[in-house]
């Protein structure tokens, strides 16, 4: 159990993808390069998980698909909301192979950084297989996909950092209520269908379509804190008292070999591409798309409406009681404080959790090479995304984005850039390139282009690649 938790923590500290996920989560490299402006202009397999109605815009009889080979579609993104890479290197990189001895000014600066944030996050996902086929206007367009998403976020309580840096001055209260941990690994199997219903709105739209995706989810692990209401009070003679109120849940695939404290034997680990699920769930997406005069496109969608049931190898971590420590050499007291802060594992039959439900709206304008003001073809787009919860890959804070895709000429790659903002991750400058042939496309993008220009000053980074085969 400790090894797996350590692995998850390191993963969060060190590292989004073709699987479209949540309001701020992962996305295909083309859309990522355009600032995640995807609701109105994603096409083919790239619209799966974002707006299934966009499937109608493929050519009749066309097929597109994405596989692990020759190039996988995946991406990684992670960082913090408070600690730049420059600060990370200064405080934790050491000096000449040894740890840095912090001065009082160093301690104050590090403490103030945690006062401004404390959030550490990661999103990683991969497209195992996806495909779509347009069977004609009278039949519709079909899509399938199998995608993985692993994500997590934790908030380090500022009070804990303050205690570690400045010790325990008398009569000071350290409140840990702002701490939380959320992390999971999910796999989605989806079937999508879209239909062109332009005949209903011929006087308004040139083309109008509706789409729906049905999803079956498998979950391989889940860790989530539900309640932390804990405080520590320092007293005379280094006596520490306080109260703990802690509730968290976890579920792990048996393939991981995780052993809870209440279990008598250590299970053997057998992790492969298809581990046994610890939970299952169902969800659906629906969306609408419309075009006006072939230049303007409008899209609207709601995704991942559903829930997960975690019912295999589950536990509840509970703590409710008083904290007392007056002798740091007393092992029983130390163990008691640790248990009060992290909770005692109790077996349960199962529990439920939500999925990263999100609302999406987008509009885009296409300028062809017939326009005089710019050579080549240009696409401008705007997106608004709103999550309904704060699960990994999602946030209740709205995300706004603008983006563009420019194809200057036949032998020049697609050039993409955009700006995206949410209060959780701040303002990011995205950039990407696309290389297309008649049957294959390859895309590269980053969500934080500024991290390449100012690598020491930024606090998160990302990279995404995606590929797609097309048969018209």
Residue 16 confidence (pLDDT) = 36
Mean pLDDT of 256-273: 78
Residue 145 confidence (pLDDT) = 94
Mean pLDDT of 386-393: 89
Q: Is the pLDDT of residue 141 over 90?
A: yes
User: Could you report the per-residue pLDDT of 33-73, keeping only the tens digit for each?
Assistant: 999 999 999 999 999 999 999 999 998 899 999 987 777 78
How many CA atoms lie less than 13 Å away from 103 in the CB half-sphere?
Answer: 3
Residue 11 confidence (pLDDT) = 39
Q: Is the pLDDT of residue 2 over 70?
A: no
User: What is the C-alpha separation between 72 and 337, in angstroms, rounded?
Assistant: 46
Looking at 96-100, 346-350, 425-429, 447-451, which range is the least confident one?
96-100
Which has more pLDDT, 97 or 391?
Answer: 391
- Neighbouring residues of 273: CB distance < 8 A, sequence distance ≥ 6: none
Looking at 125-139, 203-217, 319-333, which range is the least confident one?
319-333
**What is the DSSP annotation of 223-242?**
EEEEEE--EEEE-GGG-EEE
Beta bridge partners, 369, equal none
49 φ/ψ sector (left φ>0, alpha ψ -120 to 50, else beta):
left
Looking at 44-48, 235-239, 300-304, which range is the least confident one?
235-239
Q: Is the pLDDT of residue 188 over 70?
A: yes
- Neighbouring residues of 124: CB distance < 8 A, sequence distance ≥ 6: 11, 15, 16, 17, 26, 74, 75, 76, 77, 78, 149, 150, 151
Q: Which CATH number fits domain 2-82+117-471: 2.60.40, 1.20.1280, 2.40.160, 1.10.3470?
A: 2.40.160
User: What is the C-alpha separation between 362 and 289, in angstroms, rounded?
Assistant: 9
- Collapse the DSSP code of 53 into the 3-class scheme (helix H, G, I; strand E, B; otherwise coil) and give the result: helix
User: Could you report the per-residue pLDDT of 428-452, keeping only the tens digit for each?
Assistant: 899 999 999 989 999 999 887 776 6
Mean pLDDT of 3-19: 39
Residue 109 confidence (pLDDT) = 78
Residue 199 confidence (pLDDT) = 80
Beta bridge partners, 233, equal 173, 241
399-407 and 173-175 as β-strands: parallel, antiparallel, unpaired?
Answer: unpaired
pLDDT-derived band at 166, boundaries 50, 70, 90: low
Q: Is the pLDDT of residue 383 over 90?
A: yes
Look up residue 404 and give its two tokens.
């563009």
Residue 18 confidence (pLDDT) = 39
Residue 370 confidence (pLDDT) = 65
Mean pLDDT of 301-320: 93
173-175 and 231-234 as β-strands: parallel, antiparallel, unpaired?
Answer: antiparallel
pTM over 0.75: yes
Residue 364 confidence (pLDDT) = 96
Q: Which one of 103-107, 252-256, 399-403, 449-453 scores highest in mean pLDDT?
A: 399-403
Contact between residue 443 and residue 432 where contact means Cβ atoms under 8 Å apart: yes
Q: Is the pLDDT of residue 457 over 70?
A: no
| Dihedral angle sign, alpha carbons of residues 129, 134, 135, 141 | positive
Average pLDDT, the chain: 83
Find the largest Cα–Cα distance for the chain.
Answer: 81
Look up residue 108 and give its two tokens.
């104050």
- Of all helices (H) and strands (E), which one includes residue 385? strand 377-387
């Amino acid at each position: 159990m400790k090894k797996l938790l350590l692995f998850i923590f390191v993963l969060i500290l060190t590292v989004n993808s073709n699987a479209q996920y949540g309001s701020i989560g992962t996305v295909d490299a083309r859309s990522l390069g355009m600032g995640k402006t995807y609701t109105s202009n994603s096409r083919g397999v790239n619209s799966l998980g974002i707006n299934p109605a966009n499937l109608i815009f493929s050519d009749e009889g066309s097929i597109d698909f994405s596989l692990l080979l020759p190039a996988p579609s995946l991406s990684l993104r992670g960082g913090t909301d408070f600690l730049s890479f420059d600060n990370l290197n200064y405080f934790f990189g050491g000096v000449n192979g040894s740890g840095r001895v912090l001065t009082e000014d160093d301690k104050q600066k590090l403490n103030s950084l945690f006062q401004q944030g404390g959030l550490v996050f990661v999103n990683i996902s991969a497209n195992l297989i996806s495909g779509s086929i347009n069977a004609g206007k009278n039949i519709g367009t079909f899509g399938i996909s199998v995608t993985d998403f692993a994500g997590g976020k934790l908030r380090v309580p500022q009070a804990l950092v303050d205690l570690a840096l400045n010790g325990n001055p008398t009569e000071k209260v350290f409140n840990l209520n702002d701490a939380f941990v959320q992390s999971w690994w999910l796999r989605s199997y989806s079937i999508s269908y879209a239909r062109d219903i332009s005949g209903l709105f011929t006087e308004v739209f040139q083309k109008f379509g509706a789409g729906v995706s049905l999803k079956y989810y498998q979950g391989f692990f889940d860790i989530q804190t539900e309640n932390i209401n804990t405080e520590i009070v320092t007293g005379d003679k280094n006596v520490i008292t306080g109260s703990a109120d802690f509730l968290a849940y976890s579920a792990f695939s048996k393939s991981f070999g995780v052993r809870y404290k209440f279990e008598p034997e250590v299970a053997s680990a057998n992790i492969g591409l298809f581990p046994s699920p610890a939970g299952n769930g169902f969800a659906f997406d629906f969306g609408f798309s419309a075009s006006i005069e072939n230049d303007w496109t409008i899209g609207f969608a709601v995704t991942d409406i559903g829930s997960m049931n975690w019912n295999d190898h589950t536990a509840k971590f509970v703590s409710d009681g008083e904290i007392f420590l007056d002798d740091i050499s007393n092992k029983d007291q130390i163990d008691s404080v640790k248990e009060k802060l992290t909770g005692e594992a109790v077996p349960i039959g199962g529990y439920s959790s939500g999925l990263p439900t999100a609302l999406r709206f987008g509009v885009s304008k296409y300028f062809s090479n017939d326009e005089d003001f710019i050579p080549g073809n240009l696409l401008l787009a705007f997106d608004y995304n709103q999550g309904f919860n704060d699960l990994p890959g999602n946030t209740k804070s709205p995300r706004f984005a603008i983006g563009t895709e420019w194809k200057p000429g036949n032998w020049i790659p697609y050039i993409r850039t955009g700006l995206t903002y949410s209060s959780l991750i701040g303002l990011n400058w995205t950039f990407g390139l696309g290389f297309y042939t008649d049957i294959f496309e390859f895309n590269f993008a980053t969500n934080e282009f500024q991290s390449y220009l100012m690598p020491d000053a930024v606090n998160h980074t990302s990279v995404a690649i995606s590929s797609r085969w097309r048969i018209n």
